[in-house]
Amino acid sequence: MPDRHRKLINDPDKLISDLVEGMVSAHPGLLCVEGTTGRAIVARNGPRPGKVGIVVGGGSGHEPAFAGYVGKGLADAAPLGNIFASPSPTQIMDAGFAADRGAGVLFLYGNYTGDVMNFDMAAEALAEHGVTARSFVVTDDIASAPVNNSEERRGIAGDFFVFKVAGAAADQGLSLDEVEAATARANAATRTMGVALSACILPQTGRPNFDLPVGQMEIGMGIHGEPGIERVAAESADAVADRLLIPILNELSLATGDRVAVLVNGLGSTSLLELYLLHRRVATQLADRKVDIHHSWVGEYCTSLDMEGASISLMRLDEDLQDWLDHPCETPALKVGQSQVVAQTPRTPTPARARCDSETAINRDTLKTDGEMGPREFMGMMRSGAVAIFAARDQLCVLDGAIGDGDHGITMEIGWKAVLDALDATDPDLPISETCDRIAETFLSAVGASAGPLYASAFKTAGQAISDRWNLDAISLAWWFDGLAQGIATRGHTNLGEKTMLDAWRPAADAALKHAKKGSSVAACLSAASKAARDGSKATAQMRSAKGRSKKLGARVLGHIDPGAASAAILIAAWAKHCTTLHTFAKN
């Protein structure tokens, strides 16, 4: 289509698998793939007995982060998520198993809701297999929260320094506690600010994921396209460098004689010429303050697809941090020092470890069969919801681009495509609770991001709520809806009014239950739930965000509907329409 930007991709559904194949084929001496998901890139010369395993990860689209830092002396493995979306727990577990050599595993990733949920779930699952895994979130982005709430800050290009220190400390044989402490020191000493001059183009849609007029720039932009702290007229390189650098200098309280490491990072479409101009100003400002630069890196180290823009990161050094930065490593994206030559031999894959069957164990002989909706009708309803999500993909991406990273429609499409494939391979007369289990596992494995854990918990809890039934009547359907809302609230640690998908799901569940108690039909309960979800979704436009990436935006989110609530309303509307159509057809 003429309004789409051309991208050098093949099948969008195979984008990440093609990326993995391309990386490994380009660096066969450094990288291999392990695990059943095909998403865990592992260092051939990384994991070794007695060494703490280092796993870094996040969404794709930030290349060379994160898999580009897998190699000897740095990260042992990296699970690759979808574009701008966290890897799923199963993908993370594949990386964790590969990195584990008996001394524990440290997960490192940016401080984003989806990453936190998915990595935490993976750590819990690894513990069941006897693997100690801990998480560390990088919080270097000054623009995303004030200093008194620094634990809420995002992780952006400063990941580079924190990953390097963690990998070096592990390579030197430190214990898990000591590696974690070194990582914390690195994070505390690192600050970053970024600027965007244009939006990035999502490969699947071919369109910008947010609007940034020519001649303006966004200060404090996140690496997923999240809006920053202000939008101003474009300025000169020196003026931009000052805007980014001064807050960093103030927070690090640099004084005469201090030493720093400098990273001037391009976001995907900024020339080296421009990046060197930024570094020129940074070097001048530091020299004026008599602050020494120990080492500088200038180039693309953590990108945002093809966004025009840059970020500046500083790490205030002490003797240990400097030693860890100087420690040799060899990865596709970074080589420091002279790494020891190791004969390249095929890496022995980590033996696959069985994962527990999580489907609800039920006695089918005791299931209640009264009710208007049977397993086949339920599956039909799920399929109708999936089709509606596919049709609304671009609309949902636009909503998300205004206050998030612009990929919500793509994420939901990926999840529901995987669900349709799973339903096609499922017995159409499977009890509804077991179908819910399969949807939960499928969504979690396919999506990652924040939607993966949230929808997995939703369908898991909803299935448990009706595990005594074969067919659903109105009241059991209402309890099923209540399970969906409860699962989302519990996994997301969220409440009504916080501008999340719960603001559509909770009113829908309450409306369904209210009408069911009045003796309404299944179709009538679904219609009521749909209206409540639609109203709840619209109401989020007047809410400030209390969760997720958009929390950082304050009043800038006002006037924008939460994309998660919007997709919930679309799903429920499709379910209601499907059921009403069936009910009308049955009467005729």
DSSP class of residue 469 equals B
φ/ψ of residue 460, rounded to 5: -65, -50
Whether 394 contacts 207, CB under 8 Å = yes
Distance CA 232, CA 240 (A): 11
CA angle 402, 407, 411 (to 5 degrees): 140
The mean pLDDT value for 302-330 works out to 97
How confident is the model at residue 340, as a pLDDT? 58
CB atoms < 10 A from the CB of 369, how many?
Answer: 8
Task: With a cut of 80, say whether residue 342 has pLDDT above it.
Answer: no
Distance CA 271, CA 259 (A): 27
Distance CA 340, CA 324 (A): 16
Which is more confidently placed, 579 or 265?
265
Task: With a cut of 60, say whether residue 376 has pLDDT above it.
Answer: yes
Of 183, 577, 535, nearest to 381 by C-alpha is: 577
Q: pLDDT of 167-198, one tens digit each?
A: 999 999 999 999 999 999 999 999 999 999 99
Q: pLDDT of 531-563, one tens digit each?
A: 999 999 999 999 988 876 677 677 878 899 999
CA angle 498, 500, 504 (to 5 degrees): 110
What is the distance of C-alpha 123 from the center of its chain? Answer: 16
Distance CA 385, CA 570 (A): 7
Contacts of 403 (CB under 8 A, 6+ apart): 226, 227, 545, 549, 550, 553, 556, 557, 560, 562, 563
Minimum mean pLDDT range among 54-68, 217-231, 560-574? 217-231
How confident is the model at residue 346, as a pLDDT? 47
Residues in the chain: 588
Catalytic residues: 224
Distance CA 366, CA 538 (A): 42
For residue 447, what are its two tokens?
Answer: 């999506």
Task: With a cut of 90, say whether residue 223 has pLDDT above it.
Answer: no
Distance CA 541, CA 560 (A): 5
Write down the mean pLDDT value for the chain: 91
Q: 72: which strand partners?
A: 330
Of 337, 273, 268, nearest to 300 by C-alpha is: 268
How confident is the model at residue 326, as a pLDDT? 97
For residue 120, what are its two tokens?
Answer: 């935490």
Distance CA 383, CA 550 (A): 30
CATH architecture of 364-587: Alpha Horseshoe (1.25)
DSSP class of residue 97 equals H
Backbone angle region of 411, left / alpha / beta, with phi > 0 → left and psi within -120 to 50 → alpha: alpha
Which is more confidently placed, 546 or 254?
254
How confident is the model at residue 230, as a pLDDT? 86
pTM: 0.85
How confident is the model at residue 358, as a pLDDT? 45
How confident is the model at residue 226, as a pLDDT? 75
- For residues 320, 322, 327, 331, the Cα torsion angle rounded to the nearest 10 degrees is 130
Task: With a cut of 70, say whether residue 117 has pLDDT above it.
Answer: yes
The mean pLDDT value for 429-441 works out to 94
128, 184, 411 from 55: Cα distances, Å = 18, 16, 23
Per CATH, domain 12-329 is 1.10.287.130: no
Tracing tokens 């963690």 back to the chain, one arrives at 166
Whether 17 contacts 38, CB under 8 Å = yes
Give the start-to-end residue ranges of the domains of the chain: 12-329, 364-587
